[in-house]
Amino acid sequence: MNILIAVIDYGVGNLRSVEKAFSFIGCDACVTSDPNTVLSADAVVLPGVGAFADAMDSLEKAGMVDVVKETISKGKPFLGICLGMQLLFDYSEEGGSEVKGLGIFKGGIKQFSHDMGLKVPHMGWNSIEYNKQSPLFKNLPDKPFVYFVHSFYLDADDKNIVAAGTNYGIDFDSAIGVGKVFATQFHPEKSGDVGLTILRNFANII
């Protein structure tokens, strides 16, 4: 595919594995910290692992906060992965106080209870259940298994934007889709054939 996918490098996340997954399916993906490269790309991916507050600080220092907002406001295909999804929302409870996110969508990032009898972080394979039709999930079976690593989960205010949910002690929002903006709590790049199908679907949207 003759398209360029910019993977935003702001010092947080497993960027190379995302880049390699896109290369594997025949897409030209570049890891970049240059705002102009991101703004001129055909699509943008915001990955991320680690602490929410540190990630927001890193995004700001990298000059990427306005870049992400502009990318989304212009309707360019966008994919947030794991922490990259969480950052799109109003706040996170991580760190014991509400840390502000990008505020592109309404909702909060909340912590799994350590009293629910399950290991936290939620790490490993779990199924997702579709809330609505999404081009991101085209050609996938019902309730496919994908790979998660997280201690905090999304609770979106507007459930109409939620594309899929997952149960891990509680039901939580594990994927969103609005226009050409998509985001997943799970890692497509680590989710085997299901994940590669999701990335191909994203590429086809571009």
* Domains of the chain and any CATH numbers: 4-205 (3.40.50.880)
Give me the catalytic one of 19, 27, 82, 150.
Answer: 82
Annotation marks residue 150 as catalytic = no
> Tens digits of per-residue pLDDT, 118-162?
999 999 999 999 999 999 999 999 999 999 999 999 999 999 999
Average the pLDDT over 159-170 and give the result. Answer: 97
The pLDDT assigned to 24 comes to 95
Evaluated on CA atoms 41, 178, 133, 186, the torsion sign reads positive
Give me the catalytic one of 27, 94, 150, 189.
Answer: 189
DSSP state letters, 139-166: T--SS-EEEEEESEEEEES-GGGEEEEE
How would residue 1 be classed by pLDDT, with cut points 50, 70 and 90? low
Annotation marks residue 82 as catalytic = yes
Whether pLDDT at 204 is above 80: yes
Annotation marks residue 27 as catalytic = no
Range among 95-99, 100-104, 112-116 rated most confident: 100-104
Beta strands in the chain (DSSP E): 4-8, 28-32, 43-46, 78-81, 89-92, 99-100, 105-111, 122-127, 129-130, 145-150, 152-156, 162-168, 170-178, 181-184
